[in-house]
Amino acid sequence: MLNKSYVSAGFLILVFSIFLSACGPQREVTQNEVTQGEPEKPEELTLWAWEDTKAAFQNIGDKYTEETGIKVNVVAAENADISLDAPAGRGPDLFYETHDRIGDAYLQGLAAEIELTDEQLKGYQESAMEAFTVDGKLLGIPSSVETIGLFYNKELVPDPPKTIKDINEIAEQLTNADQKEFGFLNITSDFYPTFPFLTAAGGYVFGENEQGGYDTSDIGLASDEVVEGAEIIHSWHENGYIPESLTYDVMNGLFRDGKVGAIISGPWGIPDFEKGLGDKLGIAPLPTYNGEHLQSFLGVKGFAVSEYSESKYWAKDLGLFMTNAVNSKSLFEDTKRLPAREDVSIESELYQGIQEQLQHAKPTPNIPAMAQVWEPMGDALVFITQGENPKEVLEEAEASIKEQISLLGGNN
Amino acid sequence: MSKQKHNPMIAVTISIVPGLGQLYNRQFIKGTTFLLLTIAFVVSFYQFLNIGYWGLLTLGEIPGLDDSRVLLAQGIISLIITGFAITFYVLNLINAYKEAVKIKHGRKNDDLRKSFKDGWDKSFPYVLVGPGLFLLIFVVVFPLLYMILLAFTDYNLYNSPPKNLLNWVGFENFISLVTVPIWRSTFFSVFSWTVIWTLVATTLQIALALILAIFVNDPRIKFKKFIRTVLILPWAVPAFVTILIFAALFNNDFGAINNDILGPLFNQAIPWMTDPFWSKVALIGIQVWVGFPFVFAIFTGILQSISKDWYEAADMDGASSWQKFKSITFPQVMFATAPILIMQYAGNFNNFNIIYLFNQGGPAVRGQNAGGTDILISWVYNLTFETQNYNMAAAISIVIGLIIAGFAFYQFRRTRSFKEEGEM
């Protein structure tokens, strides 16, 4: 029996080595030929959208079909699936994406570089284009932009506050915490709406490197200017203007019920607030500090061409069509997304304040390292509101961000 | 060819090609079937296995074209298929040998119908188990192998397929877990809290269950059924509902525990959500609440089965209540439930729900990148979904898996000893 098991072991090794000696697929690396001019039209293009924009995009897609004869198939999908679906040939030609996720898509090789002529570039906002640029490569065609503004209740605050001093004044006058009435509220534990105030005197998330990209080793969130901003935020809590464990639900609810003079919010909140406040809702740009406008984060949504699309030329063409002046305007009418174009004017009193603030908005860094900034900064803001030494807390947050970034594997 | 000359070794040797041995044994139908199956297997799977093994070894060669994740999956499936093939191959060799031995000893070949019947009788249990086993291999074993292999690659955010190829890095991930300072400090602080959490929360829930079970079982207690029902109620509410409600109750500013209990009574507010120490206290309290009814139910059943004679005998000898508890009740209860209790510890070690639903592993701790109450499994969740550090997450998962396997192994040991000693 022992003998036999030796023999069979020998056979097994033999079988194994036959498989292992096989040397994989035989193939040649083919370079994609660069074709000049218009390639042949595909029969249909697939566009991955989100549930809430699917209908609006399909309308525009149908217009494209009328013009070119290419069928546009809009699918409500999860962008996270592209990484596996696209290489397997089940992916989209064009996908709808926010600019701060485009760095991820670029690292995974999912978004193709888009080359636009000067003619095609005309009309788009420069900052929106910049938001979709990674390592000097344009990876998306911007469709809509958004940023935060100062939402105020015209009944309580007839004139929107122009400076941070004005804000402190209305907070002082209107706040009556026992009655759940407040002059000014902001979620100070969230870095996104608090960034403009934190950097009121100066400061930045990532510095620029020589190539015009972001330098993750240069974080500008613990300078003396930022400490000055941190002290403004701390004073709101110290003076009892803003309760410590305020949440979005509570703040939005109180504002909707007319109990708050002004809050910081974005265009996504407008429908809800309009229901409660009606005509009393006003939106102004963020206030100034020492005569300087506060700088908010700019968010851009747009269309990226899939690296795995077989008809990139037409995918890009569809992307340009989706975001042209006429269709940008109709997208605003359907979904209230502000066009990322200079040559479209929106006549809406409510959105005027947001549009003004857009002039002072800078894109959220689109590199994946940005994902490591939110949490440490949010924690730092909580410590600041609790009255801990801002300089120490901010330096710790910076160190923690750097540590997290190096954990990502970015530095090795 | 005389029967004595029939040589089993020849049967085995020419069975290198399955079927030939059976043909030599003059089992022509069986031999031909084996031969055809082998050819079919090689023809249909050769290309798949070829790519699979090549992919497993190289993880792809051309970035963008080869997707390492897909190749890894195909490689694992190739391994599984090879495993099946080897099993059948060995069975084929054994079969050829055994049949040849039978012939050598002068046994006639069975007729076909009888050999079919024998084969069916023998393989019937395997036919029944087969579908389940097949499903298990692809639903459990396959993902497990995939995870284990990922721990030996360099799959992170900056090296993500399909743009980049993965590479085998050996034990590098495990080594950096205990040598690179930032990994080491977080790993050990999270690990130590995980151990404390497991020991304290589980022991408390067992202790509470034991005390309550003994009280309720006391002959002097009335309305036993009612009390038992009430005590088992926390088990009837889904755990995640309980945890979410507790999270709301513990809220510093708006929760009932601070506002309606501690505030009016002691004029105090405890920072349950923002202070790591108090968060840990709250979590252990909630886990005791959620976990004790199950243990209580088991203890109650066992207490009722302990013979009254023993207590009577103890009374005769003048034993105190404590002595009775120490020498009769406690050993009896522990003896019967040890395996279940061990699994309670294992369950809490990986109790993701409560940690995540209470406050996502928070609160933040200055100078540390995992939250104050993160246990290993919730940290792995963060590494995977927040920072996309798949390789490190897989490596830590293996560590968790080994520890849980330790619990399970110990549990099986205990179960067996219980069975053997129980025959007294």
Q: How do residues A290-343 score in pLDDT, each as one tens digit?
A: 999 999 999 999 999 999 999 999 999 999 999 999 999 999 998 889 999 998
Report, as an integer, the average pLDDT of B214-218: 89
CA distances from B216 to A106, B213, B229, B327, B392 (A): 64, 5, 11, 20, 48
* Whether residues A100 and A204 fall in one domain: no
Shortest distance, CA A109 to any CA of chain B (angstroms): 4
- Separation in Å, CA of B84 to nearest CA in chain A: 13
Residues B295 and B361 in one domain: yes
Question: What integer is the mean pLDDT of A251-272?
Answer: 93
Higher-pLDDT residue of A5 and B156 is B156
User: What whole-number distance in Å separates Cα of residue B99 and Cα of residue B10?
Assistant: 12
* Shared-domain flag, residues A156 and A287: yes
Express each pLDDT in B171-188 by its tens digit. Answer: 989 998 888 887 888 888
Higher pLDDT, A120 or B415: A120
Residue A212 amino acid letter: G
Q: Examine residue A155 and state whether it is found in any structural domain, yes or no.
A: yes
Domains contained in chain B, number: 2
Instruction: Inspect the interface and report whether the beta carbons of B157 and A24 lie closer than 8 Å.
Output: no
Residues B272 and B342 in one domain: yes
pLDDT digits (tens, 9 = 90+) for A55-97: 999 999 999 999 999 999 999 988 888 888 888 888 999 999 9
Least CB–CB distance from B387: residue in A86, A245, A407: A407
User: Does residue A2 carry a pLDDT above 50?
Assistant: no
Q: Are A103 and A368 in contact (CB under 8 A)?
A: yes
Q: Which of A86, A110, A245 sits opposite B253 (nearest CB)?
A: A245
pLDDT above 90: residue B122: no
A·B CB contacts under 8 A: 115
Number of domains observed in the structure of chain A: 2
Percent of chain B with pLDDT over 90: 33
| Residues in B touching A405 (Cβ below 8 Å) | none
Neighbour-count burial for A300-335, b at 16+ CB within 10 Å, e otherwise:
bbbbbbbbbbebbbbbbbbbbbbbbeebbeebbeee
Ramachandran sector of residue A336 (left: φ over 0; alpha: ψ -120 to 50; beta: rest): left
According to the model, what pLDDT value does residue A392 have? 92
Same domain flag for B331 and B183: yes
- Name chain B contacts of A409, Cβ cutoff 8 Å: 154, 156-159, 389
**Domain membership flag for residue A14:** no
| Residue B423 confidence (pLDDT) | 45
CATH number at residue A183: 3.40.190.10
- The answer to whether residues B271 and B329 belong to one domain is yes
- Spatial separation of the C-alpha atoms in residues A184 and B134, rounded to whole Å: 62
Average pLDDT over residues A378-384: 89
Rg of the Cα atoms in chain B: 31
Question: A398 touching B, CB under 8 A?
Answer: no
Is residue A384 situated within a structural domain?
Answer: yes
B169 located within any domain: no
pLDDT digits (tens, 9 = 90+) for B371-387: 789 999 998 888 888 77
Share of chain B above pLDDT 70, in %: 94
> What residue of B is the nearest CA neighbor of A393?
B366
Contact A4 B12 (CB under 8 A): yes
**What is the rounded distance in angstroms from the CA atom of residue B224 to the CA atom of residue A199?**
65
Contact between B14 and B92 (Cβ < 8 Å): no
Range of the domain at B123: 3-159
**CA B347 to CA B353: how far, in whole Å?**
11
Q: Which residues of A touch B54 (CB under 8 A)?
A: 22-25
Question: In this predicted structure, what is the pLDDT of residue B1?
Answer: 43
Residue B5 reports pLDDT greater than 50: yes
The rounded distance, in Å, linking the Cα atoms of A37 and A34 is: 10
* Boundaries of domain holding A198: 149-296+366-407
To the nearest 10 degrees (0 to 180), the angle between helices B181-217 and B330-349 is 150
Nearest residue of A to residue B164 by CA position?
Answer: A108
What average pLDDT does chain B have?
86
Q: Is residue B8 part of a domain?
A: yes
Same domain, B268 and B136: no
CA-CA-CA-CA dihedral for B199, B204, B209, B211, to nearest 10: 130
User: A73, exposed or middle or buried, with CB in 10 Å at 0-12, 13-18, 19+?
Assistant: middle
Question: Tokens in use for A395?
Answer: 């330096």
Picking from A83, A379, A407, the nearest residue to B182 by CB comes out as A407
pTM over 0.80: no
In a domain, A215, yes or no: yes
> Quick one: A157 and A204 in the same domain?
yes
Average pLDDT over residues A150-167: 94
Same domain (yes/no): B13, B101:
yes
Residues with Cβ within 8 Å of residue B236, at least 6 apart in sequence: none
B359 and B395 share one domain = yes
Search chain B and give the residue with CA nearest A243. B253
Residue A89 forms contact with B (CB below 8 Å): no
Shortest Cα distance from B253 to chain A (angstroms)? Answer: 6
Query: At B255, is the pLDDT very low, low, confident or very high (cuts 50, 70, 90)?
Result: confident
Q: Please identify among residues 261-320 of chain B the ones whose CB lies closer than 8 Å to any CB of chain A.
A: 273-274
Residues B135 and B189 in one domain: no
> Is residue B114, in this structure, part of any structural domain at all?
yes
pLDDT band at A11 (very low <50, low <70, confident <90, very high): low
pLDDT of residue A81: 87
Q: Which residue has the higher pLDDT, A189 or A211?
A: A189
Report the pLDDT value the prediction gives residue B110, as an integer from 0 to 100: 61
Q: How far is A25 from chain B (nearest CA, A)?
A: 6
B97, B129, B159 - which closes a domain: B159
- The answer on B96 and B241 residing in a single domain is no
Question: Could you give the maximum distance between any two Cα atoms of chain B, in Å?
Answer: 103
What residues of chain B, 90 to 149, have a C-beta less than 8 Å from chain A?
90, 93, 97
Residue B402 contacts A, CB cutoff 8 Å: no
Tokens of A71: 């069928």
Q: Which residues of A181-190 are buried (b: 16+ CB within 10 A; e: fewer)?
A: ebbbbbbbbb
